[in-house]
């Protein structure tokens, strides 16, 4: 191609904002702005970077429920964002930048509940929380609070964006839309619009709950849905409805921050409610809290170095209310078979090449993260790292410079970049991270940079004395609209990776009886380690899926690291719950978007809330018969890399026979 060439690593060419944000601002940002020839003239729906970064950096030192550090500061890599994009209509432009102030509502808005209450927090999208499954027979809600992150800012000055409803607000809204009766027939459409769950007006509004399937509603039902007649008094709900996909960025860049804010807020609300009801008598007590977050990312350190994982760690270590049970539940992920993970063993100086296959007609950027651990002193900014790299370049791999980047430019526009950074683990060990970004391969605006599709060779070379093991992961790749197919996922394309065995069945990371064959460990591309990067922390319950009829671990359910070496904690699933009823019966049954409907949903997103249900029931001393262990049932052993400690199942008295 003419005009195509890489720049050189240069100690003067560095970035001061995290690589994903840098790439976002160069390549993805224009997708967020409304074209001038469009028919959307409402400027308030335009996304811009907010003025604030939501930091909460020093969680341990933070006064409970205060805002922590909220600054527009620059940060080093691996840590806080500089800003997150929000539609202007969502933003509280008057949010005061005062870290000592509370971001909680007035306690009059908070409910009175019994001391033995257990709270289930669900963070998701399209949660239609007025369904009967989340209410009592008298029509009142079991939801204590609902933060609608995507809603127009409604004047709640303590909230950074969106709007929040409390138990009384929800009850009032239910009554308004039920013809004046608390337990009358609810006009769900009207409730959802009023509550900001469905927004047909705004380009960036939520529509999911207006359809038949809604991820968040299904998750909430599994985690805390009960028939009104038997709903426990002491299991209550706090809900956060995340913004639409467009807010997350193509790589899920900003998802971490919305998730973290949601979690922190649920925890703080739980404490605030306790304080309202109990402060004098028992200031250190609290309501046990189980938070389910059925989201994740592919690439990351997959350790507690990950930003999000570190934040969860910080939350768990917060000194206030330290003895109150606090559980986080997340899914293992569904990308086991997506060829998104490779482990490259590098002897000193011998280069190896990994094929990264980027698809045509892909309207989203593609990303790979490469991590390795090196013994020695952490190099300073501008200094070389021992792992050398080249991307789609016939020249020999070059050693990256810390905080630096190189750019593949075509006619002056960047179509790919490689960013380099380091993170110190101790004074004798550090980790190197490369992030490789490529532009979309199809764009409708012909002025914008487009990357060629096909195989991009990643060549790695070890310039260290001792062997290095490089972990390569393709990052989450999603389209901006939820059901769109315009984001084509790239994959590692190596001839020795087998997808199917000689009988035509899919291979998995581990064998299962004589039903499933294990992968050949000779290939660099592997299913092991595809586990959710956001859930790769010892203290997070990371839930895998299996087929209920025969115990077979779901072929799509992401695998733990297995025997592959990694520093510190080796991520594995915690346990597994059913995600398919049988080979013929897809998924498991749960609530649909509409009140009273049932739909079949498949994926580890729906395994996680089942575990949240088990945990919350245990904590509430409510239905210890909820779980059973498959250990007594005669089915083949399954490998812990797929199912963690064991498989569980929730026994119900009258299960629907499909």
Partner 1 sequence: MLRSGGGHGGGHGGGHGGGHGGGHGGGHGGSHAGGGASSLLSDALVYTHDALAGYWDPNGLINTPTSPSQLDSLEYLSPGRRSQVLFGVLAQNFRVCPKPEKGFAAGINLGTTEIFRTSIPDLVFFKSQLKYLHSYAELRADRVPEILVQTEDILSFFGALSHLNKSRRRNSLELLELVQNITIHLEMQVKHYCRMPRPVDYDARIQPMIQTPTHSTFPSGHATESHAVATVLHHLMSSQDVTKGLKNNAMPFRLAHRIAVNRTVAGVHFPADSATGAAMGISIGNAIIALCENSKPTCLSLCDANNWLLDVESGDFTPQAFAKGITPTKGAKTQAEPLLHALWARAKGEWKDYTPAQGAGK
- If one asks whether residue 655 binds partner 1 (CB under 8 A), the answer comes out as no
Q: Which stretch binds partner 1 (CB under 8 A): 35-43, 84-92, 248-256, 276-284?
A: 35-43
Nearest to 441, CA basis, from 364, 343, 351: 364
- If one asks whether residue 596 binds partner 1 (CB under 8 A), the answer comes out as no
Host H or E run for residue 265: helix 255-278
Token duo for residue 56: 């909460």
Task: State the minimum distance, in angstroms, from the CB of residue 175 to partner 1.
Answer: 15
Binding mask 171-190 for partner 1 (x = CB under 8 A): --------x-----x-x-xx
Of residues 69 and 194, the one with the C-beta less far from partner 1: 194
Of residues 40 and 322, the one with the C-beta less far from partner 1: 40
**59, 213, 223, 328, 423 from 591: Cα distances, Å:** 36, 9, 11, 22, 44
CA distance 293 to 608: 8
Of residues 187 and 493, the one with the C-beta less far from partner 1: 187
Token duo for residue 277: 């009801």
Task: State the minimum distance, in angstroms, from the CB of residue 42 to partner 1.
Answer: 8
Q: Which of 193, 297, 552, 642 binds partner 1 (CB under 8 A)?
A: 193
Task: State the minimum distance, in angstroms, from the CB of residue 38 to partner 1.
Answer: 9
Task: State the minimum distance, in angstroms, from the CB of residue 193 to partner 1.
Answer: 7
Q: For tokens 């709950």, what's the residue? A: 209
- If one asks whether residue 40 binds partner 1 (CB under 8 A), the answer comes out as yes
Of residues 211 and 285, the one with the C-beta less far from partner 1: 211
CA distance 556 to 134: 30
Q: Which stretch binds partner 1 (CB under 8 A): 141-149, 195-203, 274-282, 364-372?
A: 195-203
Task: State the minimum distance, in angstroms, from the CB of residue 483 to partner 1.
Answer: 6
CA distance 206 to 195: 12
Of residues 204 and 407, the one with the C-beta less far from partner 1: 204
Chain centroid offset of residue 291 CA: 13
Q: Which of residues 525-564 bind partner 1 (CB under 8 A)?
A: none
Q: Which of 26, 175, 207, 276 binds partner 1 (CB under 8 A)?
A: 207
**2, 3, 94, 371 from 345: Cα distances, Å:** 35, 34, 52, 12
Q: Which of 55, 202, 473, 579 binds partner 1 (CB under 8 A)?
A: 202
Task: State the minimum distance, in angstroms, from the CB of residue 199 to partner 1.
Answer: 8
Task: State the minimum distance, in angstroms, from the CB of residue 197 to partner 1.
Answer: 14
Binding mask 478-497 for partner 1 (x = CB under 8 A): ---xxx--------------
Give the distance between the most distant pair of CA atoms in the chain. 76
Host H or E run for residue 282: none
Q: For tokens 């498959």, what's the residue? A: 630
- If one asks whether residue 200 binds partner 1 (CB under 8 A), the answer comes out as yes
Of residues 192 and 464, the one with the C-beta less far from partner 1: 192
Of residues 201 and 428, the one with the C-beta less far from partner 1: 201
Token duo for residue 334: 């569904």
Task: State the minimum distance, in angstroms, from the CB of residue 210 to partner 1.
Answer: 6
- If one asks whether residue 46 binds partner 1 (CB under 8 A), the answer comes out as no
Q: How many CB atoms lie within 10 A of CB 38?
A: 9
Q: For tokens 């179509």, what's the residue? A: 415
Where b means 16+ CB within 10 Å and e means fewer, 163-192 reads bbbbbebbbebbbebbeeebbeebbbeebb
Would you mind telling me the total number of residues written for the chain in this entry?
658
Token duo for residue 561: 């690291």
Strand partners, 457: 355
CA distance 24 to 364: 11
Token duo for residue 116: 């033995």
Task: State the minimum distance, in angstroms, from the CB of residue 360 to partner 1.
Answer: 22
Of residues 178 and 277, the one with the C-beta less far from partner 1: 178
Handedness of CA 264, 265, 269, 275 (dihedral sign): positive
Q: Which of 57, 120, 210, 648 binds partner 1 (CB under 8 A)?
A: 210
Of residues 192 and 251, the one with the C-beta less far from partner 1: 192
Task: State the minimum distance, in angstroms, from the CB of residue 8 to partner 1.
Answer: 43
DSSP single-letter state for residue 85: E
What are the φ and ψ backbone dihedral angles of 647, each rounded to 5 degrees? Answer: -95, 140
Of residues 217 and 490, the one with the C-beta less far from partner 1: 217
- If one asks whether residue 205 binds partner 1 (CB under 8 A), the answer comes out as yes
Q: Evaluate whether 614 touches 585 at the Cβ level (below 8 Å).
A: no
Task: State the minimum distance, in angstroms, from the CB of residue 399 to partner 1.
Answer: 47
Q: Which of 76, 79, 97, 201 binds partner 1 (CB under 8 A)?
A: 201
Q: Which stretch binds partner 1 (CB under 8 A): 107-115, 210-218, 537-545, 546-554?
A: 210-218
Helix axes 255-278, 307-317, angle to 10 degrees: 10
Q: How many CB atoms lie within 10 A of CB 622?
A: 16
Q: Give the residues lining the site for partner 1 (CB under 8 A).
A: 39-40, 42, 179, 185, 187, 189-190, 193, 199-203, 205, 207, 210-213, 481-483
């Amino acid at each position: 191609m003419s005009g195509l060439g890489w720049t050189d690593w240069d100690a003067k060419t560095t970035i001061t904002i995290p690589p994903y944000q840098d790439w976002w601002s160069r390549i993805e940002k224009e997708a967020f702005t409304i074209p001038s020839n469009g028919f959307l003239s409402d400027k308030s729906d335009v996304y811009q970077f907010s003025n604030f970064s939501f930091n909460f950096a020093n969680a341990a030192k933070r006064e409970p429920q205060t805002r922590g550090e909220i600054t527009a500061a620059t940060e080093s890599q691996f840590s806080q964002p500089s800003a997150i994009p929000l539609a202007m209509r969502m933003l509280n432009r008057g949010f005061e930048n005062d870290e000592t102030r509370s971001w909680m509502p007035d306690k009059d808005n908070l409910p009175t509940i019994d001391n033995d209450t257990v709270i289930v927090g669900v963070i998701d999208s399209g949660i239609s929380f007025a369904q009967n499954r989340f209410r009592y027979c008298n029509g009142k809600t079991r939801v204590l609070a609902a933060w609608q992150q995507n809603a127009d800012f409604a004047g709640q000055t303590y909230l950074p964006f969106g709007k929040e409803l409390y138990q009384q607000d929800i009850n009032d809204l239910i009554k308004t839309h039920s013809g004046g009766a608390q337990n009358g027939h609810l006009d769900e459409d009207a409730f959802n619009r009023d509550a900001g769950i469905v927004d047909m007006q705004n380009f960036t509004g939520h529509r999911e709950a207006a359809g038949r399937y809604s991820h968040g509603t299904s998750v909430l039902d599994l985690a805390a849905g009960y028939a009104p007649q038997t709903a426990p008094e002491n299991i209550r709900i706090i809900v956060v409805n995340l913004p639409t996909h467009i807010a997350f960025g193509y790589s899920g860049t900003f998802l971490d921050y919305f998730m973290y804010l949601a979690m922190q807020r649920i925890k703080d609300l739980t404490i605030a409610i306790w304080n309202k009801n109990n402060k004098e008598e028992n200031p250190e007590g609290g309501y046990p809290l189980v938070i389910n977050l059925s989201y994740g990312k592919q690439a990351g350190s997959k350790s507690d170095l990950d930003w999000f994982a570190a934040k969860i760690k910080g939350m768990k270590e917060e000194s206030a209310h330290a003895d109150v049970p606090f559980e986080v539940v997340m899914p293992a992920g569904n990308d086991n078979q997506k060829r998104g993970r490779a482990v490259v063993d590098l002897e000193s100086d011998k280069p190896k090449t990994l094929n990264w296959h980027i698809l045509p007609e892909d309207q989203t950027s593609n990303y790979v993260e490469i991590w390795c651990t090196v013994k020695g002193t952490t190099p300073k900014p501008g200094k070389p790292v021992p792992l050398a790299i080249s991307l789609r370049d016939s020249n020999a791999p070059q050693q990256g410079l810390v905080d630096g980047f190189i750019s593949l430019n075509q006619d002056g526009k960047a179509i790919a970049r490689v960013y380099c950074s380091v993170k110190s683990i101790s004074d004798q060990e550090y980790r190197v991270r490369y992030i490789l970004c490529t532009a979309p391969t199809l764009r409708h605006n012909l002025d914008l940079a487009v990357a060629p599709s096909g195989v991009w060779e990643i060549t790695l070379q070890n310039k260290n004395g001792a062997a290095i093991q490089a972990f390569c992961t393709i990052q989450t790749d999603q389209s901006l609209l939820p059901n769109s197919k315009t984001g084509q996922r790239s994959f590692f394309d190596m001839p020795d990776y087998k997808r199917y065995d000689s009988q035509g069945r899919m291979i998995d990371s581990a064998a299962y009886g004589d039903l499933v064959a294990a992968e050949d460990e000779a290939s660099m591309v592997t299913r092991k380690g595809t586990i959710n990067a956001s859930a790769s922390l010892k203290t997070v319950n990371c839930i895998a899926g299996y087929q209920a009829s025969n115990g077979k671990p779901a072929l799509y359910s992401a695998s733990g690291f297995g025997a592959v070496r990694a520093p510190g904690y080796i991520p594995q699933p915690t346990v597994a719950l059913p995600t398919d009823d049988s080979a013929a019966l897809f998924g498991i049954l749960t609530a649909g978007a509409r009140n009273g409907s049932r739909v079949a949903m498949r994926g580890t997103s729906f395994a996680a809330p089942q575990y949240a249900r088990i945990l919350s029931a245990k904590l509430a001393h409510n239905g210890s018969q909820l779980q059973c262990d498959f250990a007594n049932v005669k089915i083949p052993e399954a490998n812990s890399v797929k199912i963690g400690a064991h498989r569980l199942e929730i026994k119900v008295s009258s299960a629907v026979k499909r």
